[in-house]
Amino acid sequence: MRKILLMGNPNVGKSVIFSRLTGVDVIASNYPGTTVEYTCGRMRLGDELFQIIDVPGTYDLNPSSPAEEVAVKMINQGDVIINVVDSTNLERNLNLTLQLLKKRKPMVIALNLWDETRHIGIFIDAERLQRILKVPVVPTCAITGEGIKELVAQLPYASLDSFEYDEDRRWEKVGEIVSQVQKITHRHHTFLERLEDLSIKPITGLPLALVTLVVVFSIIRFIGEGMIGLVFEPLFEKLWAPLLMHLSNLLGSGFLHDVLIGKLVEGQIDFVESLGLLTTGLFVPLAAVLPYVFSFYLVLSFLEDSGYLPRLAVLVDNVMHRLGLHGLAIIPMMLGLGCNVPGAMATRVLETKRERFISATLMAIAVPCMAQNAMVMGLVGRYGAKGLGLVFGTLLIVWVSLGFLLNRFSKGESPEIFVEIPPYRMPYWKALLKKLWMRIRGFTRGAIPFVLMGVFITNIFYSLGIIQFIGKLTSPVITGVLGLPQNAVGALIIGFLRKDVAVGMLVPLGLSFSQLVIASVVLTMYFPCVATFAILMKELGIKDMIKSVIIMISSSLMVGGLLNLIL
């Protein structure tokens, strides 16, 4: 199968063109021996099936980052190159184009964002550019689909000709080409451009960021609660519960009933408290967690594709530097609010090992995933702002304080932020929904098995008396330092498998307000779930992971003990 490489600078619309060319079944993979991710899909052209590869964005073929190194290596693996060019920044993009032409690979140039050139007063003579470079040049607008059909039609005519120029005078040659094919006319700023200026300046950008975050999490809560109340709870209560009650009567009492159904509450199935594989094991990930994860990734994908996240990264750069990071670290933190697994993987956007260690440790300790947030809200939400404020306020203080300490005692430096800031654009919804589908599919594949495993192991441990034994063994810490009952040790053990299930296990224990707050904070801090642990082990290595775990356990015991003394 021949390979078509989509290559270009970051934020030129490669992913949207990729989505236009490929179907739903796409694969995200790591390049061998690296943590750099790329996406593959397939496209049929005539009778031939091609593999489409969305290569990591690069500005230059003289790599200065792991992503650019991978992009350079992948050139030799491709049969045809589609060079995606940002038409609104022709000069900067042609630097990479001229270098690609030297590789003597069949190539087609996609002049993407063609619609925006008209809006900002830029005219490009595409036909003249084609004659100069001696390769097909196709104006495209990936969001609307303009030019995509013509781009595909030009692939069989991809040119092998090498554009000759003096490498030492490359930028001079770029300037000559731009002067021949591009004209710029005066025009007034649009509303979106004024908004771009406001959202990047600290005096106006920070208030806008706060408003944006409040709106974002209001939308997440609205969509999540709506899906739970209108769709999932009725499905479980009216359709699934009667079937399970019938199965419960058939099984009678005994070990198998306790494993599959769990314990009946007042003769009925309680999907939170029963702790059976078919009750709590399915209800928690599907009905209590999935709606919030869906709504979070929907909103996050919109922020990514609209161009807001790079601006947020620049805004928080000064604060992040005080924590030993730079502004791009806000991305794994926000992803971690959805699920810590992609949050841990997103630490790859950071350049140094030191930054990745600090970012991953802070996220694992003080950034609860949306599934856990949902359960914490259900647990202490009835106490209103007092309960939620104590839990999340404590986690925020821990995040900042621990960041200062890690920055102070971790060796190394934090480089300055270097990020492309694209203009605001309306997202291409097909690509957005495809990305959402991939994330939700990944979550369900990872979450449901671990929840079922957690519920099953809990039932086995309770049946064998292991939970009670560990409770007695650790009672000096659990009851003495943290002020929690011995039964809470079960939640701490299951927290290693699924944090959200662990928080849900606190419900039937009848904890006081202070105990609920302490348990919620400690469960968030003390250890990541096993899925996140596995990813962090891969990303950080064994040595740094052991250091991170020591920090997690010691800080959670310290903070839990302080809360016990204060409350």
Region 184-212: mean pLDDT is 81
More confident: 447 or 562: 562
Report in angstroms the alpha-carbon separations of 229 from 159, 234, 245: 57, 7, 22
Phi, psi dihedral angles at 562 (to 5 degrees) = -65, -45
Look at residue 272 in the predicted model and tell me its pLDDT.
66
Mean pLDDT, residues 40-50: 85
pLDDT at residue 419, rounded to an integer: 64
Give the three-class secondary structure for 308: helix
Residue 139's pLDDT band (cuts 50, 70, 90): very high
Count how many residues are written for the chain: 567
Mean pLDDT of the chain: 82
What per-residue confidence (pLDDT) applies to 183? 92
Q: What is the predicted pLDDT for the residue at 497?
A: 61
83 in Cβ contact with 97 (< 8 Å): yes
DSSP H helical ranges for 465-526: 466-473, 475, 489-494, 499-504, 513-525
d(CA 134, CA 363): 50
Residue 198: the pLDDT is 83
What pLDDT band is residue 30 in, cutting at 50, 70 and 90?
Answer: low
> Residue 354: which residues within 8 A CB-CB, separation 6 or more?
324, 410, 411, 412, 413, 414
pLDDT in tens, 261-276: 877 877 888 776 677 7
Strand, coil or helix: what is 288?
helix
pLDDT of residue 127: 93
In terms of average pLDDT, the best of 97-101, 223-227, 270-274 is: 97-101
Residue 36's pLDDT band (cuts 50, 70, 90): low
- Domains annotated for the chain, with CATH where assigned, are 2-187 (3.40.50.300), 200-566 (no CATH)
Tokens of residue 297, six digits: 């990734």
Report how far residue 530's alpha carbon sits from residue 454's, in angstroms, rounded to the nearest whole number: 10
- The 10s digit of each residue's pLDDT in 492-542 is 776 766 676 677 677 767 788 888 888 889 888 887 776 677 778 877 888
- How confident is the model over 162-188, as a mean pLDDT? 86
Average pLDDT on 397-402 reads 93
pLDDT digits (tens, 9 = 90+) for 105-115: 899 999 998 98
Q: What is the pLDDT of residue 473?
A: 80
> Which residues 6+ apart lie within 8 Å of 29 measured at CB?
37, 38, 39, 40
pLDDT at 445 over 90: no
Residue 85's pLDDT band, with cuts at 50, 70 and 90, is: very high
Q: Report the C-alpha gap between 100 and 314 in whole angstroms.
A: 30
Give the model's pLDDT for residue 532.
76
Q: Which two tokens stand for residue 204?
A: 């106006």
- Over residues 472-503, the pLDDT tens digits come to 787 788 888 888 887 777 777 767 666 766 77
- In this prediction, residue 463 carries a pLDDT of 67
- Tokens standing for 392? 């999340």
pLDDT for res 95: 93
5-19, 173-187, 363-377, 396-410: least confidently modelled range? 363-377
Helix axes 353-366, 385-409, angle to 10 degrees: 160
For the chain, give the percent of residues with pLDDT over 90. Answer: 20
Helical ranges in 410-541 per DSSP H: 429-464, 466-473, 475, 489-494, 499-504, 513-525, 530-540
Tell me which of 461 and 418 has the higher pLDDT. 461
Alpha helices in 134-285 (DSSP H): 148-154, 170-181, 191-200, 202-227, 233-234, 241-251, 255-260, 280-283
Q: Hey, is 267 helix, strand or coil?
A: coil
| pLDDT at residue number 33 | 55
Kindly report, residue by residue over 281-339, the tens digit of the pLDDT: 788 778 877 887 788 788 888 888 888 888 888 888 878 888 888 788 888 888 788 77
Instruction: Looking at mean pLDDT, say which of 114-123, 187-196, 405-414, 466-475 comes out highest.
Output: 114-123
